[in-house]
Structures are given as C-alpha cells and as structure tokens.
Structure 1
Amino acid sequence: MKTKLLILCSIVFLTTTSTQAQFWKKIQQKVEDKAAEKVDKVLSGSEETSEQGAEASSKRETPYIEEVFTFEPGGTLIFEDQFIDAQKGLMPEYWKTSGNGSIVELDAYPGKWVMMGENSTFKLDTLIKVPENFTIEFDLITSSDKAEDIGSMNFGFAKDNSVRSTLLDAYNHGAVTSTKFHFHNQDITHSSKDMDAYHTLNFPFKSYSNTKIRVSIVVQGKEMRVYLDKSKVLDRTMFATGTSKFFYITAPFKYDKESRVFFGNFKMAAL
C-alpha cells in the first residue's frame, strides 16, 4: 500500500512539475518574443527608446512654423553692421551701452561678435531716420552647458536713444515694447506700453544652447511681427500712432556656469 502511495505521489509530482515547467517556458518565450519585437522596431526606426523619443520630440516641437515663411526684408538698406573694422576687446564704433560689451571672434562662427555683458542694454550710437515701415534682422549666438544657464534677455523699441538705464521691460525708462526670451521657463513674453498689452507663449528653448538664433522683425506703422528663425512668435498691434522707435537689445540679466550670449549681423532696411 505504501509503495502504491509513493508511486502515485511521484506521478502527481512529476506531472505538476512538467506542467509548471511548460507554463513558465511559455511565459519566458512570450517575454523573449516581445523583447525581440521591441529590438526589431528600434533597429528599423519604427519605434524609439524613451530617451530617443524625448530627444526627437524636442527637435520636432519647434512651434509656430509658417507653411510659407512670410518674412521679407526691406529693399532699401538703412543701416548694416557686421563689425568688420571693429577692434577686438572694445565696443563697436556705432553702438553704445548701459553696461559693457566687447568685440570677439568665435571659432565656430565666422566674423566678429559683441560679447554682451550681463544686464547691459545696447542701442545705436548714430543718428538714423527710421521710416514708418521697416525691417530689422540680427543674430544671437548662445554658449552654455544648458540653455537654462542663460538668464532672460529682451529686445524691442524705446521712445528715446538713452542708455542711462538698463531696459528690462516695456514699461520703464522710455521703453515701448519688449520681447523677452525666458531660456529657463521656455517661453517668450511680449509687452507693449502703448497698447497696455502682455502676452506669453511657450517656446522650446531647452534645445537652444550653443546655437545661432536668427531674429527678424517687421514694423509696419502700429503693427509688429517677430520671427525666431522661421517661427513667427508675434503678429499684433504694438504701437500707438506716431510713436518714436529706437531699437534696443538687453543682454541676459545673469550668466550661470560661464554661459554667454553674442550679438551680430545687424541689418535695418526700409519696406
């Protein structure tokens, strides 16, 4: 009797063990199949890892791209400055500042650039008759470990050409408009004292460290459009009738971890 019981228990044990083994083998096979399928998708490019996906998403998310890029520079040149004859280490001849700036050369980008001292406002130090309708273009070069190491900076128009004070917004020291880049918050704010207007929109500045940014501005009477590379980030009324317009640009209010912003390739033309 004992012998029969032992044989029966052995049969049950072996049957159960075999069933469990087959079960876990099937599970393991499914896991391996899923893993293989995942690898195939990644290798074929049909699926990305989370890190690759985040990076690709960051590259794709630049917003406000126009189907047809509508910016057209003015046809009659008013003033252009590429700092060709400017002496390294000094401010360029036709500009003045509330703080400091100096001409430098960069290995990665040809030509000469103004290294903008933090919290310094720059304006043209020359008399220019600005027409009612005109365009302005310039380049910014960012240098930083991360974009958020660069403090916010702004540009726009003021009612006079004074640099006695740093212009940080559209509401003080004679400023009229302000377009501010918030590298840390990843947004752009536009404000107008004439129109009592304030507007914020998101922009992926996270991918804007160590790069060149092309800024294009169109002013047509009371209207103003701003393009960042080929993204249109402003298109609205920003001026009252007859408002004087003196261009200014203010460097970031601070630089962290030896970050820097450089300014150059300025061009103003009448429409």
Structure 2
Amino acid sequence: MKYNPIFISFFSIAIVLAPYSSQGQFIKDLKKRAEEAAKQTVERKTEEKSAEKTEQAIDSLFNIKLKKKAGNDTSNQEGMEMESGGFEDFQYETGYEGIPGSTESGSLQAYSKFDFIMGSDILYAEDFSKAQLGDLPDGWTTSNTLEVVELNAFQGKWLQLQKGKNLFAPLTLGTLPQDFTMEFDLILDYEPTKFAAARMFTIIFNDLESPSIKLGDFYAGSHMLALGTDKGMKYKYKKWKDSQYNERATEATPILEKSTLQRGTRVRCSIWKSKNRIRFYINEEKAFDIVQAESPDNPFRSMKFYSEVYNEGENFFISNIRMAGPPPVINRELEETGLLEATGIYFETGSDEIKPESYPTLRQIADFMIKSGGSFTIAGHTDNIGEKEANRLLSESRASSVRKTLVKTYGVDTNQLASIGFGQRYPVYPNDTPEGRAKNRRVDIINLAVYEDYEGKLIEKVYGEARK
C-alpha cells in the first residue's frame, strides 16, 4: 500500500511531537487532518493548472483595469480570505522555472549567490490593504499625487505612480535604524522597447530628520543615496558634503534588459544595511554593494521614494513594503535559543509552494541541521485573516513543504525533522497592526535539544500561565 507523503509527515509528528500537545486531542486528529490536507492539495493543484491555462489565453498581461470602488464597497473582498494581506502571500513572478525542492534547477542556480535574508523583527509593514481605493493612503505624504488601486493581473492593493515626477514617503516609519533589512515589490508597467526620455524609480536615504523636509527635492540633505532603476538600467547616486565621495552609475542588468523584459513584470527589490555598508538587490541579483554608503558623521535618518515617468499610460506600482532589523544569525539562534522565527521563507499565494528567494534562509538552516545532527520541528503559523480551519491546513501544508525541501534539496536526514501547523491558533504578536500580522505569518524552526515544550510556551505567551 502506498501512503501520501503528507500522511507520512504527519505520522512522524505523532511520534516526535507527542509532548507538545497539552490537550492530547491534537495528536489524535493528525491522521484525519493529513488526509484532509492531502485532498485539499490535489484540488488546489488542479485549480492552479486550470488557472494557468486561462492566464495564457490572455492577450496582454497588463491590459490594466483599475478597480476603483467607493470606500464602503467590499464587492471584491470575496476570494481574498486565505491569509491575504500578507507579504509572503502575493504572487511574485521571478521569471525562473522551478522552486527549491523541485526537480528543476533553474531557480536554485539563479539564487545560489543570493545572500539576502529578511530580519525577523518587523519594524514597518505596508501592503495598503486598509487603504481606500482612489485615495492617498493614511500616513503617507507626496509631492504630487498618489492613488491606491487594484489591478487585474496582481493581487492586493498598489500605489500607482503615473506620468510626471513624484517624491513620496511613509511618515509613520520614523527614524531609520542603524542596521536594517528592507524589501518591496515594484511593477514595471511600461513597454521596454518604446523610447522614453525619463523612466526612473529609486529609493532615497538622506540625513534629514523627516522625509517631509524638502520632500520635493531629489537631492535634499547634506548626505543622500538613491538606488533603483533608470530606463532599463540599474541606477546609483551618492552625494556627500565632501564631493570627492560622490558617485553616480547606471549599468546594464539582465533583469531589466529590453530584449527580455516584458511589460507588467514584477520585481522584488531588497536592501540590507549594515553600519555604513548597503547592499541593493533586484530579484536575485546583487545590483550594488556600497561599502561607504553612509557617512559615519552624518547617518541616514529618513527615507523616501522617487518616480519619474515620461510617456502617457506608463506607470510604476509599488506595494508589499517591509522593513525589519538585521538578518538573523541563524546558526547562533538555533544553537543558543533553540528557536528561529523564519520570516525569510516565502510561499506562493494560498499554497505551500516555496518561492526561490527563500534559498539563503533554507540553506543556512539545513547547514546547521546537518552539522548538529539533532532533531527539529518545523511549525507553521498564519495571521487571523481568513477561516480558521483553512489557515490551519495551509500552515500544516507549508510546514510539511519546508520539511520536504530541507530533506530532498539540502540533504537533511528525514529522521531529524517533523512538521506541524497551528494556523492562527497562537497569535504571539498583535493581529491589529500590519507589523504584527507580518510577524505572525511565519515558519518557526525549533531545535528540540534546546527549546523544550514549544506549544506550552506558545500557550503561555498568548494566554498566560493559567492556560498552560
């Protein structure tokens, strides 16, 4: 008799995680839940294949239709209940085949030198899910106009940046930390083969106390750094009070070449600041690595964005913005605390398919597991958006997917790992803020030799000692 791999994974849980369930019933239901998850996975795969064929029939990916509705119109809310509003849940098209753990190696090869890992401590998060369509989002300022829209080709809400120059910034971010990681999604809605006198998008760091100071001045501040794209090139501009340190560069990059770039491409921009050094990534490419990005005497204190579009009907769209602390030292956290909140593991929308930008995090986790030879549990969590049981099944499926990837792709011994999903059961962080929901959407890696009674500690954190 052949058993479904998901059933085998959950059967392993019953042996390894028996001490975790404070109520006993949790383990008794594992087989039933596994069968339900397996059934749901088959149905989901069938739906995805059908949807893929439908999408291929669309003449233009970005025949944009902006769904502007009245503020109290919720007609488009249906269908977005499965852990939506999440930064790990938007469709991020990398342009590469395969995922970590698959038989195709394109993604693994592309991301083999990608070293960006998002920090676990989320400081700021914005996906505009609470913003009114057609309006300037709360907490943002602009030198021109900003508009929140929905698109026919991408989930969620986006800031639309139309023709003209626009400097804009989040006012609620506060002073920039010394060390941080950051990421956001950018849609390039233009025809790359068509000439444009200006087609530019950058993120700007400067030494001004607030981004609203001289907001409309691209060069404001004694010290500033702009990173982004300019007419199909990667772009860098650094200005210091001492002009001998100034730099400007526009360089070709395969990701933005007009021969391969299609209108409507979405790219992930990532930034890693460590003291005076800043690394800037476009998808898997490290576009710039600037050792002296910031003056030790004039640290960057604020941040803003800049867009400039020349041709009518061309746009940039930005969303899914996150800023966090520095990357976790994965080996140290697993060895010393025994718990890693792996917010750097990403999944496709509503599925357990791991995105390739998860490669650096998974690789370091696997290296530690193989070296230690110990036993580990992979626990999936969601926020409170959506139906409880659907979230629980999704979190179980995702934790199982991480387990299988660590075994099949990275060579971790299958006997070292168990996986479990709690869904929205234990909201360790507040679900009433974007930052809290982003922290709750995660996969925890537990070193069983160090961190004991994982579920008991979750209960204590959420409900207090009396419920343990």
TM-score by length of 1: 0.68
CA apart distance, 1:199: 2.9
Aligned to 2:320: 265
Provide the secondary structure at the position in 2 that maps to 1:67.
Answer: coil
Report the Cα distance in structure 2 between the residues aligned to 1:76 and 1:82, rounded to whole angstroms: 17
2:166 paired with 1:110: no
- How many equivalent pairs are there? 203
Conserved 8 A contact 2:192-2:263: yes
Name the counterpart of 2:122: 77
Q: Alignment partner for residue 278 of structure 2, among 224, 241, 251?
A: 224
d(CA) in 1 for partners of 2:186 and 2:213? 21
Provide the secondary structure at the position in 1 that maps to 2:159.
Answer: strand
Query: 1: CA distance between counterparts of 2:213 and 2:143?
Result: 5
Task: Give yes or no for the alignment of 1:123 onto 2:169.
Answer: yes
Name 1:179's counterpart in structure 2. 227
SS at match of 2:191: coil
Deviation at 1:213, TM superposition (A): 1.1
Contact kept? 1:119, 1:166, Cα under 8 Å: no
Matches within 5 A, 1:210-221: 210-221=264-275
Q: Secondary structure at the match of 1:152?
A: strand
Cα pair distance change 1:124/1:133, threshold 3 Å: same
Aligned-pair CA distance for 1:180? 3.9
Between the aligned residues of both structures, percent identity stands at 24
The offset of 1:165, in angstroms, is 4.0
**Which deviations, in whole Å up to 9, do the C-alpha atoms of 1:187-209 show, x marking residues without a partner?**
22212113322233212421152
Q: Deviations over 1:206-237 (max 9, x none)?
A: 11521101100011110000000111111112
2:146 corresponding residue in structure 1: 101
Give the one of 242, 250, 254 matched to 1:200. Answer: 250
Are the counterparts in 2 of residues 189 and 199 from structure 1 also a CA contact under 8 Å?
A: yes
Correspondence for 1:139 among 185, 203, 215:
185
Q: CA deviation at 1:132?
A: 1.1
Q: Secondary structure at the match of 2:118?
A: coil
**How big is the alpha-carbon RMSD for the aligned residues of Structure 1 and Structure 2?**
2.2
Structure 2: gaps (5+ residues) = 1-94, 97-109, 327-468
What code does the residue aligned with 1:155 have? I
Partner of 1:4: none
Higher RCO, 1 vs 2 (CA within 8 Å, ≥6 residues apart): 1
Work out whether residues 192 and 239 of structure 1, in 8 Å CA contact, stay in contact via their aligned partners in 2: no
Task: Out of 208-217 and 107-116, give the one that drifted further.
Answer: 208-217
Q: Is the 8 A contact 1:144 1:257 kept in 2?
A: no
Unpaired runs of 5+ in structure 1?
1-58
Of Structure 1 and Structure 2, the greater helix share is in 2
Cα deviation for residue 127 of structure 1 reads 4.9
Amino acid at match of 1:259: E
**C-alpha distance in structure 2 between counterparts of 1:163 and 1:116, whole Å:** 21
1:245 and 2:298 equivalent?
A: no
Q: Distance in 1 between matches of 2:306 and 2:250?
A: 19
Return the alpha-carbon distance in structure 1 between the equivalents of residues 239 and 312 of structure 2. 34
Q: 1:44-76 deviations in whole A, cap 9, x for unaligned?
A: xxxxxxxxxxxxxxx89xxxx663310001121
Look up the equivalent residue of 1:154 and give its one-letter code.
Answer: T
Preserved contact between residue 121 and residue 163 of structure 1 (Cα < 8 Å): no
- The CA deviation at 1:147 is 5.6
Where do residues 24-103 of structure 1 align in structure 2 (5 Å cutoff)?
A: 67-103=112-148
1:190 is matched with which residue: 233, 236, 242? 236
Question: Which is strand-richer, 1 or 2?
Answer: 1
Q: Would you say the 8 A contact 1:66–1:232 is kept in 2?
A: no
Structure 2 SS opposite 1:142: strand
Q: 1:224 to 1:99 in 2, by over 3 A?
A: same
Change (3 A) 1:264 1:256: same
1:42 equivalent in structure 2: none
* Cross-structure match for 2:7: none
Deviation track 1:13-58 (CA, whole Å, cap 9, x = no partner) reads xxxxxxxxxxxxxxxxxxxxxxxxxxxxxxxxxxxxxxxxxxxxxx
Hey, what's the Cα distance between the residues in 1 that align with 2:216 and 2:268? 23
How far apart are 1:264 and its partner, in Å? Answer: 0.5
What is the identity, as a one-letter code, of the residue corresponding to 1:166?
G
- Residue 240 of structure 1 and its aligned partner are, at CA, apart by 0.6
Contact persistence 1:83–1:112 (CA under 8 A): yes
Kindly indicate whether the alpha-carbon contact (under 8 Å) linking 2:294 and 2:300 is maintained by their aligned counterparts in 1: no
1:114-173 superposed Cα distances (whole Å, 9 cap, x missing partner): 0114311111112524321101100111222336556122222022212544344xxx22
Deviation at 1:79, TM superposition (A): 0.5
